[in-house]
Amino acid sequence: MTQLTGAPAGAPAAAPSQAAPAPGRPRVRPGVVGLPALGLVIAVTAWWLVTSGLELVPSAALPPPQAVWAALTGTSHVLLPALLSTTWMTLAGFLLSAVAGVLIGMALAGSRRVERMFAPLLVAVNAVPKIAFGPLLVVAVGWGQKPILTMVFLLCFFPIVLSTATGLTTTPAELAELARSLNASWWQSFRKVRLPAALPQIFVGLKVAMPLAAIGAVIGEFYSDRPGLGYQILQYNGMGDFPTAWAAIMLVALMSILLYAALTLVERLALPWVKATTSAR
C-alpha cells in the first residue's frame, strides 16, 4: 500500500533533533514567572526613584513603596477582610454580567431587527461615565450590595455583549457551509459550529471585562456602606493617611491581576485548540 505519511519506503529514518518531552509533564517556560517578576522589580524601582531617590513627586501624592508596605502590614487586619469583600463583589458582578452579556449578545446576533432596535441603546448606556450613576444608584437600589453589583454590571456587560455578537456573526464561511451540507438543524449548527467558533472572541470580551469588574466594585463601594477596599480608600484618604489608602489601591491592582490570570487559565483549559492552532510567541 502506498504510504501517505512519513518517509518513503526504504528511506532511512531521520534522527529526531531533540528528545520529546515526557508525557504528562507540562513544561513551564522560565519567562512565564521570570518576566512578570522582572517587570515588578523595574516598576517598584522606578516608583522608589520617583518618590524617595529623586523626590520628583511629593509623598502626599504618592508615598514611597516602603511607606506603603509598612501601612499594608500595619493595617492588614482591616485591609485583608476588605480585600475579600471586594473580591466577592467583583466575582459576583462579573458572573452576572457574563451570563447577561452572552445572552444579550446571542439575541443581537440572532436577529438583525433586535440588533437595530437595541444596539443604539446599549452604545448610549456604555458612553455615559459610570461614576455619574453612583449617587443615583443609592437612591434607586439602596445601600448594601446592590449598588456595587449594579456598577459592576454597567461596566462589564458591554464588552461581553459586543464580543459575543461579533463572534457569533463571524463564523468562518467554510464551517457554515459544512453545517449546511450536513443538513444540520439551527440548534445543531449553533451548538456544534457557531458557538465553538465564537468562544475565542467571547473570551476576549470576558478578559476585557474582568479588570472593569474590579473598577466597578471599587466605584460601587464609594457609595455603599459595605467595608470593601473602595470604602477603605475613601476613609483613609479622608483621614490623610495616604500610605494606607495607596496600600488599598495596590491590593485592588493585585486582585485584578490574579483574577485576570485565573480567567486566562480557564480559557486555556476550555479552548485547548486555540493554543494549538496559533503561532507560538
Contacts 24+ apart (CB under 8 A), 190-197: 194/168, 195/168, 197/167, 197/171, 197/172
Check pLDDT > 70 for residue 20: no
- The CA distance from 168 to 145, in Å, is 33
pLDDT of residue 280: 53
Residue-number span of the structural domain to which 80 is assigned: 63-270
* pLDDT score, position 128: 82
- pLDDT at residue 177 tops 50: yes
> Which pLDDT does position 281 carry in this prediction?
56
- Report yes or no on 99 lying in a domain: yes
Domain count of the fold of the chain: 1
Q: pLDDT of 229-263, one tens digit each?
A: 999 999 999 898 999 999 999 999 999 999 999 99
Write the DSSP string, 52-81.
IIS--S-TTTS--HHHHHHHHHHTHHHHHH
pLDDT at 7 over 60: no
**Quick one: pLDDT at residue 13?**
47
* 57 found inside a domain: no
Residue 10 lies in a domain: no
Residue 120 domain-assigned (yes or no): yes
**Residue at 115 is within a domain:** yes
Rg (CA), the chain: 25
Q: What is the CATH number of the domain that holds 213?
A: 1.10.3720.10
Question: How large a percentage of the chain has pLDDT more than 70?
Answer: 85
- In sign, the C-alpha dihedral spanning 32, 38, 43, 48 is positive
Within a 10 A sphere around the Cβ of 39, how many other Cβ atoms?
Answer: 10
60: burial class by Cβ within 10 Å (0-12, 13-18, 19+)? exposed
Name the one residue in this structure whose C-alpha cell is 449594579: 150
Q: For residue 18, what pLDDT band results from cuts at 50, 70 and 90?
A: very low
In a domain, 143, yes or no: yes
Q: Give the mean pLDDT of 160-180.
A: 83
Whether 29 is in a domain gets the answer: no
**Residue matched to cell numbers 459586543:** 162
- What is the pTM for the complete model shown? 0.80
What would the pLDDT profile of 93-115 be if each residue is shown by its tens digit? 999 999 999 999 999 988 888 88
Q: Please indicate, yes or no, if residue 19 is contained in any of the structural domains.
A: no
CB 105 within 8 A of CB 163: yes
What pLDDT score was predicted for residue 43? 83
Whether 1 has a pLDDT exceeding 50, the answer reads: no
